[in-house]
Structure 1
Amino acid sequence: MKTEQPKRYIAWLVAAYVSCGFAYLAWRVGTVNMDAPWLSLPLYAAEVYGYLSGLLFVLMTFRLSVREVVPPPAGLKVDVFVPTYNESVDLLRRTLLAATRMEYPHVTWLLDDGRRPDMRKLAEDLGCRYLTRDNNSHAKAGNLNHALQFCEGEFIAIFDADHAPRKDFLVKTLGFFRDADVAFVQTPQDFFNIDSFNHRIGKKRVWDEQALFFKVIQRGKDALNAAFFCGSCAIIRRSAVERIGGFATETVTEDVHTAVKLHKLGFKSVYYAESLAFGLAPHSIDTYLKQRMRWGMGAMQVFRRERILFSRGLTLGQRLNYFASALYFFEGWQKLVFFLTPPAVFLSGDLPIAASLNTFLLLFCLYYLLSMLVHLELGRGYNSLLLSEQYAMARFFAFMSTSVGLFRRNIPFAVTDKQLSDTGRMWLWMSPVLVLAGITAISVPMGLYRMHTGSIPVGAGVVTLIWICVTLLTATMVTVYAHRHASNRRTEYRFPLRLPITLTLDGKSYLGLTSDLSPNGALYIGEPIPTLSRGGTVNIAIHLPNLIVCDAASATFVNRSAAWAEKAAAGVAGEATVGLRFNWDAQGNTGALETFLYGSRLQLEMGNLSETETPPLTRLAELLSRDGGAPLLTQNWAPGLLMQPLRAGVLPVVIATIEGAAPLLFSSIELDLDTGATLRRTTKGMATEHTVRLTPTGRLATPTGDFHLYNITPHATTV
């Protein structure tokens, strides 16, 4: 295993942060206001907690593992487990389709704890083994242990009901088991529904609240042989699980608990950081918080039961890593102190710090600046301080409640809800934030009065007021975002993919692009179809890599705006927008489209959306080295038809514009480039033909094949 070390200037930054933090907290001991211990001691304890968490963050992220794929040996026996309880048939269908089509021989099992006849039929239709039991003892862990009695595989791959694996999952993970001491291989849990509560979408970036853990922290844990088993998107050695008596059943987080037991016996873990499966992230704040509460309570249970810091079998690095993960769930108490300290100052008139304001601000700002830079740089661009604070506020009360896991022995296992939320439940889960915001807002008039009368120094009052404004702004942003997701009633995720699609009506074909594509419908943007109206039926053909999906669709709406009508009256075609609901036949034509949509990162790659944002010091180093990076795609898309001299027929393609460079063409097949080709491009309803030369630039992988990318160099143009 290789490791990735940070740049030297980041190492110096870390050293400065550690030294400055220690000096600041040592200085703060003498500034504790013992005339108001109820206010000053909790604040100091919260600052100590933050520094300790920062040190553990440095431990987990300073050095990251770099794993290279090891080819798997032939002849291994592999079973694939997909446990389910109450998930829908559609959701399971997509996961099982992807699981059965994985490369490398294996047997796929549907483990149904819901005992549903439609699940049995689904397994039979897709060629999977079906298994159920007469009770739900020990929830998911019990389901997995029950299945171990009926299979013979040397290795068990596990996917949650919503996680669709890539076809190369087994090929890229099995080879690590050539080392007989490796007990499990974990890969990232990535998510396809980038409109979830976990995600924030910007112009060039999709930020995932869990990405820092799965893309950075887990790699740091792996460098210390302390990577977690996360219960999905993983493969585990059967004999190792049998050594610990099966998957752990004593806590509600069977995955982490199982990892602890395996590490205690001296087994190794492997974390391979490439996303090889894609699932469904929590869609709203209630499902998000329920999931985090289960994780937190499970972490408390594991910490107490396994005596992480003092029991035998774990290395120092493993102890500290598991301790860091348990300590993380006490963040809620720290945040409560930070949120309530400013209103407490205004309402009581007491100050928590007995020191010169100028001295405090100088030392605090230096320490806080170093802390921010360390978290951004060691986060490798996956961190976002502003967004992280919003999520910390959203979950602070939920994390506080997980503390009961230290004392409760029996905590019921709760399956993460995959269904839509409702606005009423959203307000219930947001109530701690709203109460906090109300208390904070009420304190402002009293604080202004105390500043006016001189009972609170003006300087301290201004700092407190700024702190309050930040808290109220954060609460407002969290509330607005949570309400927006609770109000979203869309029943299925729509992929923002631009794919060539042709609609045929009355013997004439019309070319356009998909938008908001799902297995059951799409938005068509392209050439107008004069005779199509709402409720009408058209034949469709979606051009995927190595595959054309054909069937019929009903128009749910047809663009008939005033602007479109004015263009039509003036003889200008313009663009039409048509909502399509696919009318799949009884044989289940959706299988091909589902296979294509689920189990890849195409929506990020084709949309040129990055998961990271360059940290400030790294960006400065790039500017000094004059490394501007690669050009980015704009969102300027157009459909086109490519007429190739050496191939029969016409190939629909997608064309995107690149900032400062040639347009880029996406083809579903590899093109013959011996001669030039004629490209018919449609932009806003206007068609132009170009004689072009295409230069290959790369490929985008999808479950049905590769999209081939070409730079377009025009030779001549005719209209």
Structure 2
Amino acid sequence: MPFLPRPASRFQTQVPWTPLPYSPLHETVWQFLCTASLVFGAWYIGWRWLKSLNFDALWFSIPLLIAETGSFIGLVLFTINLWSAKSPLRGALPVSARDCSDDPTTPDRPVSVDVFFATYSEDPELVRAGLQAAKKLTYPHPLNLQIHVLDDGKRPTMEAVAREEGVNYITRSDNVGFKAGNLRNAMAVTSGDFIMICDADMLPFPSFLEETLGYFRDPKVAWVQTPHWFYDIPPGIPLPAALERRLGAVGRGIGRLFERMFGPVQLGEDPFANDPQLFFDVILRRRNWANASFCCGAGSIHRREAVMEAALRQWSDQVSAAAGRNEKAARQLTGEAAISESISDVMRWQSALEEEFQPYKFHVSEDIYTSIVLHSDRERGWKSVLHPVVQSKMLSPNDLLSWTIQRFKYAGGTLDILAHDNPLFRRGLTLPQKLMYGSTFYSYLSPIWNVVFLISPIIFLFSGIAPVAGYSLDFFLHITPFLLLNELSQLVAMWGNSNAKGRAWYLAMFPLNLQALWAVVRGRKISFPVTPKDRQVGTYGRLVRWQIGVAALTVLGLIWGWACYGTGREGYTLGAMIANTVWGLSNALSMLPVIRAAYWQPDPVYEAAIVEGVKA
């Protein structure tokens, strides 16, 4: 029974997004608005520090002010990230390997590409679908294309699928390094000029190489990343159609009237905020101007020379550092002022034997780690490109457990790099690159201040104690221009993309990110779990108990607070109630998407589509 990617009938006709066009006028408007937003934001933060502290409740006032300051710093970094949408131009497709090199001795032969499908426990038939798609890759010039299955599961069934599809099967005796080790092992037994990385569930489009290889005419380009696109995301049901199911023609009319007033509404769409367009088409794409778009693993293609040379340079630096430490220890032990050259050579040789050569870093986030290593190679000046056009499709996490496993790995892996190999202190990175990587790492510290933002209105609503000197006209005059300009600037920056869902999940992910942060602080090793490719059965209320608690306490606090205001209790002024009601409701509403995702069940039509696909 052949495998058909989930689901087979209903969503196969979905097409990926079209990249936002670059507009100098649009970029100028955005830059003006974001600059104005930051100016008013700095004015507000300065006023908060100098004029608004509640000295009768410093235990409350100071943590909130620190949280606001931390959040504002994050906004500054995010603004730098989005500053420009300019990207490098793609060159003509290379006819031969010589077209991709600045070495005149490079042979005039066809370009060679190795396509890696890394797999461990995924369904072999799922991998087969990707292999069949890879065999349809097109290129207008002679091309040496080799497709490889990198099976860390050592499964006879997977080997049989590779043999049936006429592709190479690669395995190894151990699983050291997990995916990074799997890629490294494959590099040792292959020789292509370029390496195309595919996850087990990835289906590359035939045009993948035609869309990406042109960038490599610049001999400094080390890799090109293409966007991830999840073709199995439920598209939802239009509000008029959903209401028609329950209320007939009257419901359809109500739905149409609502959409005329507030715009299109889709019920049941993407309950897990998996749509990655905002990340790839806005955030990562706008790092091209700083040569700081990082690799995201699947959907990327790498210059083998860059990966190997950067790894060799890093290995050499590690050997020199280790030898230096050994020489220092020897001098302290012997009391000698210097070590003889022969002994020094032996120590260096021993260090070379002990240090591991790592083309791909053994790390849960090997993709971003490799990006940092390549970007910091100042001598070669390696470049990266985010190509904005989708060139493959993949499966998304379809339940909150799978989603949580994936996002914990992202958060924990990134924070582990921050703790043990902070790119801000890494030699070789330019200042813009450090700011871009800093923006990524800083965003994972957000739960520290997000927790303060979530509990602050609750504290006020139940106690009447304000975190500011007073919710006076002066307060609203300082905060309102900043909030309005910030909202407007974000709207312009993400023209065509909704930031509301992403912002809600960013706030609601605080328990997961806190758990990842605490794991790294304790020195716990972040594991390499494989994200499940099949929907896990059941609901996951236990995963959202903190979000439910925040939402419930906020609602109860609002009831209590307005009751206190109605009875004239001290501290519950109208300005304070308005500010904390808007704040609290925004927090509570931000918790709802993740709570809904925990209890979400696919539409029966969606399930029927999956069954149809399996039967086919």
Contact 1:86–1:114 (CA under 8 A) maintained in structure 2? yes
Q: Offset at 1:67? A: 4.3
Residue 8 (structure 1) aligned with residue 36 (structure 2): no
1:252 to 345, 360, 364: 364
Q: Deviations over 1:358-378 (max 9, x none)?
A: 221232121111111111211
1:34 aligns with 2:44: no
Give the drift of 1:486. Answer: 7.1
Q: Quick check: 2:149–2:162 contact (8 Å CA) kept in 1?
A: yes
Equivalent residue for 1:45, pick from 34, 57, 66: 66
- 1:227 aligns with 293
Structure 2 residue 463 is the aligned partner of structure 1 residue 348: yes
Q: 1:326 to 1:99 in 2, by over 3 A?
A: same
1:109 aligns with 2:131: no
CA contact (8 A) 2:162 2:168 kept: yes
What's 1:427 paired with?
A: 541
Residues 462 and 177 (structure 1 numbering): CA distance in 2 closer, same or farther, change over 3 Å?
closer
Contact 1:61 1:217 in 2 (8 A): yes
Structure 1 residue runs of 5 or longer lacking an equivalent are 495-516, 521-580, 583-719
* Aligned equivalent of 1:372: 487
- Give SS of 1:64's match: coil
Q: Residues 401 and 536 of structure 2 are in contact (CA less than 8 Å); yes or no, is this contact kept in structure 1?
A: yes
In structure 2, what is the Cα distance between the partners aligned to 1:332 and 1:66? Answer: 32
Q: Aligned runs of 1:253-268 on 2, under 5 Å? A: 253-266=365-378, 267-268=382-383
- Give the length in aligned residue pairs: 495
**Number of the residue aligned with 1:466:** 582
Q: Larger radius of gyration, structure 1 or 2? A: 1
The DSSP-based 3-state class of the residue aligned with 2:509 is helix
TM-score normalised according to structure 2 size: 0.75
In the superposition, relative to structure 1, how do residues 288 and 384 fare at CA in structure 2: closer, same or farther (>3 Å)? Answer: same
Deviations 1:491-525 (A, max 9, x none): 6976xxxxxxxxxxxxxxxxxxxxxx9644xxxxx
How many angstroms apart in 1 are the aligned matches of 2:391 and 2:33? Answer: 34
Asked if 1:286 corresponds to 2:406, the answer is no
Could you say if the C-alpha distance between residues 491 and 162 of structure 1 is closer, same or farther in structure 2, counting changes exceeding 3 Å?
A: farther
Q: Indicate which of 60, 71, 96 corresponds to 2:81.
A: 60
Q: Determine the C-alpha separation between the residues in 2 that align with 1:55 and 1:470.
A: 22
Q: Is the 8 A contact 2:376 2:428 kept in 1?
A: yes
Q: Which runs of 5+ in 2 are unaligned?
A: 1-20, 97-109, 240-263, 312-356
CA distance in 2, matches of 1:362, 1:231: 46
Q: What SS does the corresponding residue of 1:232 show, helix, strand or coil?
A: coil
Q: Is the 8 A contact 2:397 2:535 kept in 1?
A: no
- Percent identity between matched residues is 29
Q: Which has the higher contact order (CA 8 A, sep 6+)?
A: 2
Task: Give the Cα separation in 2 of the matches to 1:138 and 1:4.
Answer: 44
User: SS state of the match for residue 43, structure 1?
Assistant: helix
Task: State the distance in 1 between where 2:475 and 2:548 align.
Answer: 31
1:89 to 115, 124, 142: 124
Say which of 416, 426, 441 aligns to 1:311: 426
Aligned pairs (5 A) from 1:152-231? 152-195=191-234, 202=265, 209-231=275-297
Q: Which moved more, 1:433-442 or 1:224-233?
A: 433-442
CA displacement at 1:73 relative to structure 2: 2.4
Match of 1:554 in 2: none
1:396 aligns with 2:510: yes
Counterpart for residue 564 of structure 1: none
Counterpart in 2 of 1:479?
Answer: 595
Mapped partners of 1:492, 1:301: distance in 2: 42
Q: Distance in 2 between matches of 1:322 and 1:172?
A: 26
What corresponds to 1:675 in structure 2?
Answer: none
Shift of 1:192: 0.7
Tell me which moved more, 133-142 or 203-212. Answer: 203-212
Counterparts of 1:313 and 1:488 in 2: how far apart (Å)?
Answer: 54
Give, as a single letter, the amino acid of the residue that structure 2 aligns with 1:11.
Answer: Q
State the match for 1:528 in structure 2: none
Q: How far is the alpha carbon of 1:208 from its aligned partner?
A: 5.3
AA at the equivalent of 1:468: G
Quote the offset at 1:186 in angstroms. 0.9
Question: Aligned partners of 1:277, 1:157: CA distance in 2, in Å?
Answer: 12
Note the C-alpha offset of 1:59: 1.1
Quote how far apart the aligned CAs of 1:27 are. 0.7
**Residue matched to 2:9:** none
CA contact (8 A) 1:329 1:399 kept: yes
1:288 alignment partner, SS class: helix
TM-score, normalization: structure 1? 0.65
1:363 to 2:383 alignment: no
Instruction: Write 1 or 2 for the structure with the bigger share of strand.
Output: 1
Instruction: State whether residues 274 and 396 of structure 2, in contact with CA within 8 Å, keep that contact through their aligned partners in structure 1.
Output: no
Which residue identity does 1:255 align to in structure 2? D
Q: How many angstroms does 1:394 deviate by? A: 3.5
Aligned-pair distance for 1:34?
2.7
Q: Deviations over 1:578-625 (max 9, x none)?
A: xxx53xxxxxxxxxxxxxxxxxxxxxxxxxxxxxxxxxxxxxxxxxxx
Within a 5 Å distance, the mapping from 1:674-693 to structure 2 comes to none
Q: 1:518 to 1:264 in 2, by over 3 A?
A: farther
Find 2:94's aligned residue among 72, 78, 81: 72
Which structure carries more helix by proportion?
A: 2
Q: Offset at 1:449?
A: 4.5
Partner of 2:104: none
**What's the offset of the Cα at 1:340?**
0.8
The answer to whether the Cα contact below 8 Å between 1:190 and 1:277 also exists between their aligned partners in 2 is yes
Contact 1:4 1:66 in 2 (8 A): no
Q: Could you tell me how far apart the structure 1 residues matched to 2:374 and 2:550 are?
A: 42
Contact persistence 1:73–1:175 (CA under 8 A): no
Matching residue within 25, 29, 38 for 1:18: 38
Q: Is the 8 A contact 2:162 2:169 kept in 1?
A: yes
Q: 1:490 offset after TM fit, Å?
A: 5.7
Q: Is the 8 A contact 1:347 1:443 kept in 2?
A: yes
What is the aligned partner in structure 1 of residue 553 from structure 2? 439
For 1:77, give the aligned amino acid: S
Cα distance in 1 between the residues matched to 2:266 and 2:521: 43
Superposed displacement of residue 356, structure 1: 4.3
Q: Distance in 2 between matches of 1:282 and 1:43?
A: 35
C-alpha contact (below 8 Å) 1:283/1:485 kept by paired residues: no
In the alignment, what sits opposite 1:299? Answer: 414
Instruction: Specify the code of the residue in structure 2 equivalent to 1:149.
Output: A
1:349 counterpart letter in structure 2: G
- CA shift, 1:473, in A, is 3.4
Paired with 2:592 and 2:425, the residues of 1 have a C-alpha distance of 43
Change (3 A) 1:423 1:390: farther
Give the Å deviation of 1:4.
5.5
8 Å contact from structure 1 (residues 297, 406) kept in 2: no
Structure 1 letter corresponding to 2:591 = A
**SS of 1:141 mapped into structure 2:** helix
